[in-house]
Chains A and B, each alone.
Chain A
Amino acid sequence: MTTLITKTITKICIPLVILFSISLLLAGHNNPGGGFIGGVMFASVISLTYVVFGLKYIKSFFNPSWDKWFGFGLLLSSLTAFGAIVYGYNFFRSSIKFVEIPLYGEIELVSAALFDIGVYFVVIGTLLYIFKNVGEDE
């Protein structure tokens, strides 16, 4: 087992890194980042908790089926791409909308962002699925 020092710092890191990963995901279209990078950040912080607290312990209260995560991600990404067909365009045709949000200001909604979110989930799901499967394996 690791020490309480590490555990304490890890506790601080968890929300920080997850927030950062979301930030990277959303910033991706205009800044470095995007689904893959955000997803890996997320996965790495979960893997950090696995390392620091032990996989068994974490599983006792936090045990999502990661396969569903990457399944969902792939579904979301491909559905986004399919969406264009429904609207009469070619597969993967992107669309951009600018929406005014009170308090925040104008934000840009791109279909590609939805796709990137799918990527995000795929990355998280696959990496953690692999980690969990191998980690559990005796």
Chain B
Amino acid sequence: MNIQEHLPILLVATPILMSALMIMLRSRPTFQKTLNIIVSASLLLMSIILLLQVWNSGIQVYEVGEWGKYGIMLVADLLGSGMVVLSSGISLLALIYSLDYIEGKSLNTTYHSLFNLLVAGLNGTFLTGDIFNMFVFFEILLLSSCGLVVASENGGVTKISDKMEATFKYLILNIIGSMLMLVAVASLYATVGTLNMADLSVKISALSDAGTLPWHIYFIALLFLIVFGNKAAIFPLHYWLPDVHPTAPSPISAMLSGVMIKVGAYGILRVYFLVFKDALFLLQPIIILLALITIAIGAIAAVGQKDVKRLLAYSSVSQIGYVFLGIGMGTAYALTASLVYLVNHAIAKSMLFLTSGGIIHHAGTRDMHQMGGMVKSAPLMSSMFLIGAMSIAGLPPLGGFIAKFVLFDAAMLGEYYLPLLIGFAFAVFTIFYMFRAWLLMFWGETRDSDKYGPYSSHGLSPMITVPIIILAAAVLILGVYSEPLIALSSEIANQLLDPQPYINAVLGGSVR
């Protein structure tokens, strides 16, 4: 058997298998940990091989069960496999980090299984070619993240009641999203008789060309905006994010902010540019409008935060707005920018959340006003947070700068002057709130030890520091030399704007 052909499914099914195995292996925690790390690392490896394969020899299609478009197909195009690489990388690091960060009992009982299913959910979403299957994986994502948010962390700074409250809000809002997704998918099936996205694309285009596209297809398309917007937390669907991301254990916050919200952006890119490309004219202005409001709301609210993780969460809201701004502009260059932005934010923000975990570990609180002068006691966390903060703020020479630059350049070339202006204004906000956070935590008077108790004296273990350093290195490298990322993104953008190769790959050989 040729294992390379099976890479797409292996990326999804292996974590599911592992999750099952982890439940069976509960009594052997060390073995569990080792196995999980090995599997995560090999998933990363596999995803990279898949990406290279796709890059070299075009879109890969995998027919689950060999049923062609009548079953479910996995499609690894550059966007999908690229996202898988991103998520695999971040999840490997988050997993390593977790081993020291998550409280032992929680870690040895459910954590590994939940985490594996989260990974499976991500990879499944990124690779599926079937719209209903995407719903299923969305549910996996939803419930696995809920389960992980309430996992206990060492040191337990976050009240369990806060976790519950956040999870409840998250769940309620996302269930509504899921329901709407079902409504949309069912209506789509009822109208064109298929669930395969490539097939949908062909049929809707044909209807559009013939001028017989029913009007409610537009509404269905807009429903998907709610569905994916909900995942991505764009205004006014962002409300759950500032509650959930801070209360989750830090490695999970990193996964949520780093990868999970990108699922929404991915969904928009995939579904809108493949299936609803004929409705884009209607969708794009709406996306831009919502994106701008999102940018503003996130940035302004971030300024007023005193909880470091909540600030980071609001920052994620604001930053995802920039990603959607690029999507809304919709030119090849803007999409490139959006993807570059997405990747940079993913890496920098997950790094920041991991760092904030270290900081909280050190300070014993999430309240920045109760921290101060930690640059002396936690110099590594200080420089790591600074690198992340600068990248998010879009300052050179870090990845975030390249991202902002490309995005603004795209906005300029696309003559989106007002969005550009707003984007710029809130970029200054970003500098302000990121640096304010850094200053509050690391500069100033060292915290009065009588009042709050001393900072934790024990150092952070390599399990915690190494993932952060690796991500920081990535942020730096992306700032100094982004060419591969930009080239990849622009290739992805081209694939998005011309879905014909995708369609051919999926349907061309579909004979049984």
The answer to A–B direct touch (Cβ < 8 A) is yes
In the complex, whether A44 has a CB less than 8 A from a CB of chain B is no
Residues A90 and B63 in contact, CB atoms below 8 Å apart: yes
Please pick, from B1, B17, B21, B71, the residue contacting A88 in the complex, using a CB distance under 8 A.
Answer: B1
Q: How large is the interface on B (under 10, 10 to 19, 20 to 34, 35 or more residues)?
A: 20 to 34
In the complex, whether B23 has a CB less than 8 A from a CB of chain A is yes
Closest to A94 in B: B65
Closest to A90 in B: B66
Cβ contacts B1-43/A at 8 Å (1 or 0 each): 1000010010001001101111110100000000000000000
Q: Which of B45-103 contact A (CB under 8 A)?
A: 62-66, 71
Residues A90 and B20 in contact, CB atoms below 8 Å apart: no
In the complex, whether A20 has a CB less than 8 A from a CB of chain B is no
Cβ contacts A84-112/B at 8 Å (1 or 0 each): 11101111111000000000000000000
Residues B13 and A75 in contact, CB atoms below 8 Å apart: no
Cβ contacts A65-85/B at 8 Å (1 or 0 each): 001101111110011011011
Which residues of the partner chain B approach A79 to less than 8 Å between Cβ atoms?
17
Which residues of the partner chain A approach B66 to less than 8 Å between Cβ atoms?
89-90, 93
Residues B65 and A91 in contact, CB atoms below 8 Å apart: yes
- Cα of A84 to Cα of B17 in the assembled complex, Å: 15
B73 → A minimal CB distance (Å): 10
Which residues of the partner chain B approach A84 to less than 8 Å between Cβ atoms?
65
Residues B13 and A81 in contact, CB atoms below 8 Å apart: yes
Chain B facing A: main interface SS: helix
Please pick, from B21, B26, B62, B65, the residue contacting A75 in the complex, using a CB distance under 8 A.
Answer: B21
Q: A81-B13, A82-B17, A90-B64 are in contact. Are A74 and B1 (CB under 8 A)?
A: no
Residues A68 and B24 in contact, CB atoms below 8 Å apart: yes
- Cα of A92 to Cα of B20 in the assembled complex, Å: 17
Residues B64 and A92 in contact, CB atoms below 8 Å apart: yes
- Cα of A70 to Cα of B117 in the assembled complex, Å: 14
Please pick, from B9, B26, B65, the residue contacting A67 in the complex, using a CB distance under 8 A.
Answer: B26
Residues A91 and B64 in contact, CB atoms below 8 Å apart: yes
- Cα of A72 to Cα of B13 in the assembled complex, Å: 15
Which residues of the partner chain A approach B24 to less than 8 Å between Cβ atoms?
68, 71-72, 75
Residues A91 and B9 in contact, CB atoms below 8 Å apart: yes
Residues A78 and B16 in contact, CB atoms below 8 Å apart: yes
Closest to B109 in A: A67
- Cα of A116 to Cα of B181 in the assembled complex, Å: 27
Residues B1 and A82 in contact, CB atoms below 8 Å apart: no
Which residues of the partner chain A approach B16 to less than 8 Å between Cβ atoms?
74, 78
Cβ contacts A21-50/B at 8 Å (1 or 0 each): 000000000000000000000000000000
Which residues of the partner chain B approach A85 to less than 8 Å between Cβ atoms?
1, 6, 9
- Cα of A70 to Cα of B63 in the assembled complex, Å: 27
B31 → A minimal CB distance (Å): 15
Residues A74 and B23 in contact, CB atoms below 8 Å apart: yes
Residues B6 and A91 in contact, CB atoms below 8 Å apart: yes
Q: A82-B13, A91-B13 are in contact. Are A71 and B20 (CB under 8 A)?
A: yes
B505 → A minimal CB distance (Å): 16
Please pick, from B17, B64, B71, B113, the residue contacting A78 in the complex, using a CB distance under 8 A.
Answer: B17
Which residues of the partner chain A approach B26 to less than 8 Å between Cβ atoms?
67
Residues A86 and B1 in contact, CB atoms below 8 Å apart: yes
Closest to B2 in A: A88
Q: Which of A86, A92, A94 has the most CB of B within 10 A?
A: A92
- Cα of A89 to Cα of B21 in the assembled complex, Å: 23
- Cα of A84 to Cα of B19 in the assembled complex, Å: 20
- Cα of A85 to Cα of B1 in the assembled complex, Å: 7
Cβ contacts B420-436/A at 8 Å (1 or 0 each): 00000000000000000
Residues A75 and B20 in contact, CB atoms below 8 Å apart: yes
- Cα of A82 to Cα of B6 in the assembled complex, Å: 10
A121 → B minimal CB distance (Å): 10
Q: Which of B290-305 contact A (CB under 8 A)?
A: none
Q: Which of A84, A86, A89, A90 has the most CB of B within 10 A?
A: A90
Which residues of the partner chain B approach A81 to less than 8 Å between Cβ atoms?
13
Residues B65 and A78 in contact, CB atoms below 8 Å apart: no
Which residues of the partner chain A approach B1 to less than 8 Å between Cβ atoms?
85-86, 88
Please pick, from B20, B62, B65, B71, the residue contacting A74 in the complex, using a CB distance under 8 A.
Answer: B20
B133 → A minimal CB distance (Å): 12
Closest to A73 in B: B20
- Cα of A79 to Cα of B66 in the assembled complex, Å: 17
- Cα of A120 to Cα of B143 in the assembled complex, Å: 20
Which residues of the partner chain B approach A91 to less than 8 Å between Cβ atoms?
6, 9, 13, 62, 64-65
Give residues in B with beta carbon < 8 Å to A.
Answer: 1, 6, 9, 13, 16-17, 19-24, 26, 62-66, 71, 113
Q: Given contacts A85-B6, A90-B65, list 8 more A-B pairs with CB under 8 A.
A: A68-B24, A70-B23, A71-B113, A74-B19, A84-B65, A89-B66, A91-B9, A91-B62
Cβ contacts A to B, 21 pairs, < 8 Å: A67-B26, A68-B24, A70-B23, A71-B21, A71-B113, A74-B16, A74-B20, A75-B17, A75-B20, A78-B17, A79-B17, A81-B13, A85-B6, A90-B6, A90-B63, A90-B66, A91-B9, A91-B13, A92-B64, A93-B65, A93-B66
- For the complex of A and B, the 8 pairs showing the least CB-CB separation, nearest first, are A71-B23, A74-B20, A75-B20, A92-B65, A91-B9, A78-B17, A71-B24, A90-B66
